[in-house]
Amino acid sequence: MKLIRFNLLFVAGLLALLNSNSRARAQDPVSPAGFSLLFNGKDLTGWHGMPHFNPYDLAKMPESERKAQLEKWTADAKKHWSVKEGVLINDGNGAYLTTDKDYGDFELLLEYKTVALADSGVYLKATPQVQIWDYTKAGGKWNLGADKGSGGLWNNSPGAPGKDPLVLADKPFGEWNSMKILMIGERVTVYLNDKLVVDFARLENFWNKNLPLMLKGPIQLQTHGGEISWRKMYIREIASKEANEILRKHNTKGFESYFNGKDFTGWAGPLDNYQVVEGAILCKPHKGGTIYTSTEFTDFVARAEYRLPPAGNNGFAIRYPGQGDTAYVGMCEIQVLDDTAKVYEKLDTRQYNGSAYGMTAAHRGYARPVGEWNFEEITVVGSKIVVELNGNRILDTDLSKVTEYMANSAHPGKTRTSGHFGFAGHNDPVAFKNIEIKKLDSKKLESKAEQK
């Protein structure tokens, strides 16, 4: 009898242990397909502390000083962040919890729950922020836009797209809110509780509005005086091919294709110097010249993907007259260049990738690695040109205000109000595909400007 009783107790104990382990495993977070855990549900592995602090200043610190500062912030964070039953909890104080890893293009999923009077947010690339706060009148921040709800890019300029959420989507206090954030370059889309609240808006660089965002940076969970809980945090890094597809498919209204992927129908210029290979226009090695659309444009938005070989050189011809060097006789040439190549390390800054050649320098460092496809969008309105490369605004210039030129060589074509769009080959096999252009109505643009 004793033996039987012992066996029964042993089996009962074993079953209890198995059930306990099963429950523990059930509580462990499981990433959706394609995603990785950002928070493991157990501890602060993969995170450190960092408050609202300029990341450019942090990067300038000597390594030993930076390490000591991060350790100090992390020690502070550990006093105010805790994990309980798979939930990450902050008491409203302390350094922000910051990912050890930097991210570029990504999709982020998370859930949060907050309390009355709380104010928090999610920093992207160490930049404020996707806003989270008390949306009720009792919260006392309707004067700051809290009545419009959470999810907006609150630190954007007044009136800028994304600053105010498109709809009020917050759940009552005590309930979990789900948030999905898609970030490609500077472009941010936010869904709050499955409702679109930010639609592919630029997150402005809070630290220096004249610069694009950093190419990569950490994600931070803000602390701001009220308890907030986080759970189910997952992230999926997005590769360049998918990122380009997302950029190309966003806001397609009004765009027309100007290359059929098969031949040069609708194009003119020295076409024998180019070829069509696998659906792309490719400049032949040791050939060049400017090929251009038969159609002329005044104000427009042009989109295209391009791929550079090592040390490759080409350019987008803007308002090209059909003959001559578009960098000078056209409105300008927007440079397409592998400016990581050693052979180009001592160029004038106005010659580097994305620049209005010889006139205005673009911000560097936003091209994808050589051999990958880049997505570029060029907006031309009057004398103004804006260039976005892979979702990052790298050039915003008014050529009518340019008075100094590289090598003191004038650009008589910069005042042109219309012309062709094309590619200015310089002997290298640079490829272009998915060429789409949207004509802009100059009268409507002028009317909108007057209204402002």
Q: Is there a single domain that holds both residue 220 and residue 361?
A: no
Q: How many residues does the chain have?
A: 452
Q: Is there a single domain that holds both residue 101 and residue 206?
A: yes
> What is the residue range of 68's domain?
28-238
Report yes or no on 114 lying in a domain: yes
Residue 16 has pLDDT above 80, yes or no: no
pLDDT category of residue 174 using cuts at 50, 70 and 90: confident
pLDDT digits (tens, 9 = 90+) for 247-259: 999 989 999 999 9
- Omega prior to 129 cis, within 30 of 0: yes
pTM above 0.85, yes or no: yes
pLDDT digits (tens, 9 = 90+) for 251-295: 899 999 999 999 999 999 999 999 999 999 999 999 999 999 999
Question: What does the block give as tokens for 72?
Answer: 């100090």
Q: Is there a single domain that holds both residue 407 and residue 302?
A: yes
Residue 77 has pLDDT above 50, yes or no: yes
Report yes or no on 125 lying in a domain: yes
- Find the mean pLDDT for residues 77-88: 97
Domain boundary among 238, 265, 290: 238
Q: What single string gives the DSSP state of each residue in 144-190? A: GTGGG-S-SBTTSPTT-TTSS-SS--PPPTTSPEEEEEEEETTEEEE
Residue 175 has pLDDT above 50, yes or no: yes
Q: Are 52 and 128 in contact (CB under 8 A)?
A: yes
Report yes or no on 430 lying in a domain: yes
Domain boundary among 203, 238, 273: 238
Q: Is there a single domain that holds both residue 205 and residue 313?
A: no
Report yes or no on 283 lying in a domain: yes
The domain tally of the chain equals 2
| pLDDT reported for residue 138 | 87
Q: What is the largest CA-CA distance in the chain?
A: 106
- Find the mean pLDDT for residues 37-59: 97
Q: Is there a single domain that holds both residue 263 and residue 196?
A: no
pLDDT digits (tens, 9 = 90+) for 298-320: 999 999 999 999 999 999 999 99
The pLDDT > 70 percentage for the chain reads 92
Domain boundary among 186, 216, 238: 238
CATH number at 418 reads: 2.60.120.560
Q: In 3-state terms, what secondary structure has residue 305? A: strand
Q: Is there a single domain that holds both residue 255 and residue 305?
A: yes
Residue 364 has pLDDT above 90, yes or no: yes
Q: Is there a single domain that holds both residue 299 and residue 197?
A: no
CB atoms within 10 A of CB 161: 15
Closest of 360, 337, 342 to residue 350, by C-alpha: 360
Q: How does the average pLDDT of the chain come out, rounded?
A: 92
Residue partners of 339: CB distance under 8 A and separation at least 6:
347, 352, 353, 364, 367
Q: Is there a single domain that holds both residue 178 and residue 75?
A: yes
- Find the mean pLDDT for residues 363-373: 98
Going from the C-alpha of 66 to that of each of 1, 124, 127, the distances in angstroms are 69, 20, 19
Q: Are 120 and 224 in contact (CB under 8 A)?
A: yes
- Which helix (H) or strand (E) element contains residue 235? strand 228-237
Q: Are 282 and 429 in contact (CB under 8 A)?
A: yes
Q: Is there a single domain that holds both residue 282 and residue 412?
A: yes
Report yes or no on 6 lying in a domain: no
Closest of 301, 339, 245, 239 to residue 441, by C-alpha: 301
Residue 145 has pLDDT above 80, yes or no: yes
Q: Is there a single domain that holds both residue 330 and residue 425?
A: yes
Report yes or no on 292 lying in a domain: yes
Report yes or no on 137 lying in a domain: yes
Q: Is there a single domain that holds both residue 255 and residue 217?
A: no
Q: Is there a single domain that holds both residue 253 and residue 172?
A: no
Question: What does the block give as tokens for 366?
Answer: 């936003």
